[in-house]
Amino acid sequence: MVKHFLACLAFLVCTSTVLAQSTEVNIVDTRHYSKVFGEIRNYRIFLPPGYHQHPQKRYPVIYYYHGWSQRYFGETYNKYAGVDQGEENNGDNISNFVASHEVIVVKPDGYNRSPRQEYYLRPYNVSPVETHRQFPLYFPELVAHVDASYRTLADRQHRGISGLSMGGFMTFWIAGKYPHLVSAAGNFCGSPEFFVGPKNFPVEFKHASMYKNYGGVQVRLHYGDQDFIRGYHQDLNRTWTQVMDNYQFKIFPAEHTPCGLGEMFQSMLNTFQDPPVQPERWHHIDAYPTFEVWGYQVASDRNLPGFTVLENVDQQGFSCAVREFLPDGPLMPFVHLSVTTPPSYEPGKPYTVTDLNPTTNSSNTTIIYSDQQGRLKLSLDGGMHHIGINGLGEAPNLGLASWRLLDTGWARKGQQVKVALSLLNKGTTTANKVTAQLIPVRNTTRVRQPMTRATTIPAGEITALAKPITFEVAADSTIDMVQFKLQIQDNKDHLWEEYLEIPVHPEAPRIDDFIVADGKEFMVAAAGDDTTSMVLGHGNGDGVVNPGESFVVLVPHQGQYYRTQLYFNDPNLNPDGINVRESDSWSSYDHVGGSAKYSVPLVAADCPPGHQLKLLAEYWLPNYPYHIIRKGEINITVSDHDQTPPVIQWVDIASDNTLQVRLYDGGPVGTVQARLVHTREPHKEIEYSLNDQGKSGDREANDRVFSYQIPEQQFGLFKIQITATDASGNSTAKNWPGSFVVQ
């Protein structure tokens, strides 16, 4: 063991380059072998004065992630924001800060290309995801290496992360993914949104939706008043300032630079003096199928884009789901999910675990024994689950099951908004004389009827409260979201607290000039300042919304049609949790990474003719470097009847030979058939009937994934044709692209 350590130390010394060593600062370029990447990785480390003269002293660490076209060693031939030493960044740089402060700064290399590939300026493997390198997964390994190789204060309380531009994006992503590893995060002019994650199924990752990830972390953003990304920073601030007490931002007279670096680093050192502790109750959203956070180990077999969402996690339980996108993407109940808790429970003891599923309106109670370390392991699916973990004593365990707006499709500023709440009891006994009170967290909101009551909430049940709670946001408010504290109490003075966030919108004008795209090709605005021709929606293409159709609302502006994101609260739209949202990337226009979203709502097959759809439409207009956000109210009348066949979303054959087909329709789907044709021997055909009843390989009933487990047979590559017919007799047949392995 000692020989191994000495050999590793010798390798480190032999491969390090000391660039500066003086009484001011020591700058060392060095490298180590990464098991995560399977290759040697470089980094630069800044050691404070006296580091070598005081071998007993240990130091806090700030990690700094560079921006586009930069490297661990500084600027490349595209120079725009040097930050290492000398007069770079007008002297407000890493070296000068470390020279006067007792801190270590580590600057990892974000380069993502292999040695023989053409040099590439885009770091970190985001937008696009091109390789299997996953830089967030590398962070814990880098931290462990630095802590083992240098005299650091090796705990989260004395560790922070920062970065510029794309490195700023990485700062917020990594800090939110590993709040148990850092206590401070500082973002300089960071991009707000990128495609990230596993190479084969990346997701669109937007920081504005990830605010719940930062419990226990002080978060700060610096950007310039001339920064080309500032419009997106303003978008972020309209949400984060309303839902995070641990978030601050500051605007500098600057462009796209690490503005206020010394001030940012000093704020992080101040945090290290009084670091935030692990929250008693926390939340987490992760883009990876498998992850660890705060001692919890979560694993799934998801091989599609999506997010695992954990909420209200404490020793009494948690809520979890897997969604296609945030915040309200469709659930993925066909995913197998495993959750293992930290060793927080008595070893080898029984615990009553209640699982409430509001989607299926079901409740299940089991006894689970903790292992010898005091961990509990739960096997779930990707649907919505409220988990109660109860000891041997009997008690209620209350929480928020859901909320919905009444008498409106969206919360309007300047008007009274009614909210109906449903509470759940994931405990073991009935809760009596329950009261629920909604308290605004900030003074932007006034609650007019703050309290409501329910007589009882039996164990294992969800109960809708009899009266709504009413609130109002000032008409001239510039915020995009309001936050409330929900206090729940029973007659035995048990108290439960949760937080509730509701998006709010300004009063918007009515839009009468619009077009419905229901399966027809249109030339539409795209990518900020471009146009593209594409088929939008699914239906007969006559521009009239019919039951069973999905559609896109197009709004004209200066001779172009803009796709819209729609807000509504109508049971005749998106039945059974179906929710289709698409993105129009603006990267080629503003070079940021953000995208305008647009909705493709589905009309229920049994929607009555003459029904009025009330929608709030939102779309972006270009005004570089800004995107102007326009909103307007739209009314659409539904007519005729369902003539639209099911839409096939994806086809897959899992490693266990299970054929899966995900589709959606405005009503029940009658039959789904799959015809497999051998690619080398076309005369070989196999036909299977697929089901969504939880049998013959189908994982979850009624999740719109139709499946069949193909019997083991000789290996072969097959083409697949899918035929699907809905309950109204509308049928579609599609040859799915690509070849599939059957074994």
Angle, CA of 681, 682 and 686, to the nearest 5°? 100
Rounded to the nearest 5°, which phi and psi values hold at 156?
A: -65, -25
The average pLDDT across 36-53 equals 96
For position 392, what pLDDT does the model report? 67
The average pLDDT across 448-462 equals 88
The count of C-alpha atoms lying within 13 angstroms of the C-alpha of 583, restricted to the half-sphere facing its C-beta, is: 15
Q: Which helix (H) or strand (E) holds 379?
A: strand 377-382
Domain ranges of the chain: 18-273, 282-390, 398-503, 515-637, 647-742
Q: How far lies 55's CA from each of 41, 49, 152, 519, in Å? A: 26, 12, 11, 71
Q: Do 647-742 and 398-503 have the same topology in CATH?
A: yes
Indicate whether 243 pLDDT > 80.
yes
Q: Confidence class of residue 65 from pLDDT cuts 50, 70 and 90?
A: very high
Q: How far lies 170's CA from each of 154, 294, 314, in Å? A: 21, 20, 27
Indicate whether 3 pLDDT > 60.
no
Indicate whether 4 pLDDT > 70.
no
For position 539, what pLDDT does the model report? 97
Structure tokens at 213: 């990830």
Q: Across the strands, what pairs with 387? A: 318, 355
Q: Confidence class of residue 77 from pLDDT cuts 50, 70 and 90?
A: confident
The CATH architecture of the domain made up of 18-273 is: 3-Layer(aba) Sandwich (3.40)
Indicate whether 21 pLDDT > 70.
no
The average pLDDT across 267-276 equals 97
3-state helix/strand/coil string of 206-235 = EHHHCHHHHCCCEEEEEEECCCCCHHHHHH
pLDDT tens readout for residues 385-444? 999 999 867 899 999 999 999 999 999 999 999 999 999 999 999 999 999 999 999 999
Rounded to the nearest 5°, which phi and psi values hold at 141?
A: -65, -45
Q: Confidence class of residue 487 from pLDDT cuts 50, 70 and 90?
A: very high
Indicate whether 15 pLDDT > 60.
no
Indicate whether 251 pLDDT > 50.
yes
Compute the distance between CA of residue 309 and CA of residue 286 in angstroms, rounded to an integer.
Answer: 7
Compute the distance between CA of residue 43 and CA of residue 368 in angstroms, rounded to an integer.
Answer: 46
For position 222, what pLDDT does the model report? 98
Cβ within 8 Å of residue 155, ≥6 positions away = none
Q: Confidence class of residue 10 from pLDDT cuts 50, 70 and 90?
A: very low
Compute the distance between CA of residue 97 and CA of residue 25 in angstroms, rounded to an integer.
Answer: 9
Query: Positive or negative CA dihedral for 529, 531, 534, 538?
Result: positive
CB 272 within 8 A of CB 514: no
Q: Are strands 705-709 and 658-664 parallel, antiparallel or unpaired?
A: antiparallel
Instruction: Assign domain 398-503 one CATH number from 1.10.10.60, 3.40.50.2300, 2.60.40.10, 1.20.1530.20.
Output: 2.60.40.10
Q: Is the bond into 128 cis (omega within 30 degrees of 0)?
A: yes
Compute the distance between CA of residue 631 and CA of residue 108 in angstroms, rounded to an integer.
Answer: 42
The average pLDDT across 339-368 equals 95
For position 207, what pLDDT does the model report? 97
pLDDT tens readout for residues 83-95? 999 999 999 999 9
Indicate whether 14 pLDDT > 60.
no
Structure tokens at 274: 């009084």
Compute the distance between CA of residue 414 and CA of residue 473 in angstroms, rounded to an integer.
Answer: 6
Compute the distance between CA of residue 609 and CA of residue 627 in angstroms, rounded to an integer.
Answer: 37
pLDDT tens readout for residues 127-153? 999 999 999 999 999 999 999 999 999
Which of 444, 450, 505, 449 has its CA nearest to residue 473? 444
The average pLDDT across 566-578 equals 96
Structure tokens at 505: 């919108």
The CATH architecture of the domain made up of 647-742 is: Sandwich (2.60)
The proportion of the chain whose per-residue pLDDT surpasses 70, expressed as a percent, equals: 97
pLDDT tens readout for residues 179-221? 999 999 999 999 999 999 999 999 999 999 999 999 999 999 9
The DSSP symbol for 295 reads T
Compute the distance between CA of residue 257 and CA of residue 53 in angstroms, rounded to an integer.
Answer: 34
Using a cut of 0.85, tell me whether the model's pTM lies above it: yes
For position 9, what pLDDT does the model report? 39
Indicate whether 19 pLDDT > 80.
no
Q: Are strands 184-188 and 218-224 parallel, antiparallel or unpaired?
A: parallel
For position 12, what pLDDT does the model report? 44
The count of C-alpha atoms lying within 13 angstroms of the C-alpha of 742, restricted to the half-sphere facing its C-beta, is: 24
Characterise 374 by phi-psi region: left (phi > 0), alpha (psi -120 to 50), beta (else): left
Least confident of 15-29, 118-132, 365-379, 633-647: 15-29
Q: How far lies 87's CA from each of 95, 182, 328, 407, in Å? A: 10, 30, 47, 60
Letter for the amino acid at 57?
A: K
Structure tokens at 645: 């066949």
The DSSP symbol for 118 reads P
Compute the distance between CA of residue 147 and CA of residue 32 in angstroms, rounded to an integer.
Answer: 13
CB 233 within 8 A of CB 201: no
CA torsion, points 451, 453, 458, 464, in degrees to nearest 10?
A: -80
Which residue would you say has higher pLDDT here, 128 or 655? Answer: 128
Gyration radius of the chain's alpha carbons? 27
Q: Confidence class of residue 477 from pLDDT cuts 50, 70 and 90?
A: very high
For residue 379, count other CB atoms closer than 10 A to its CB.
9
Which of 280, 292, 130 has its CA nearest to residue 200? 130
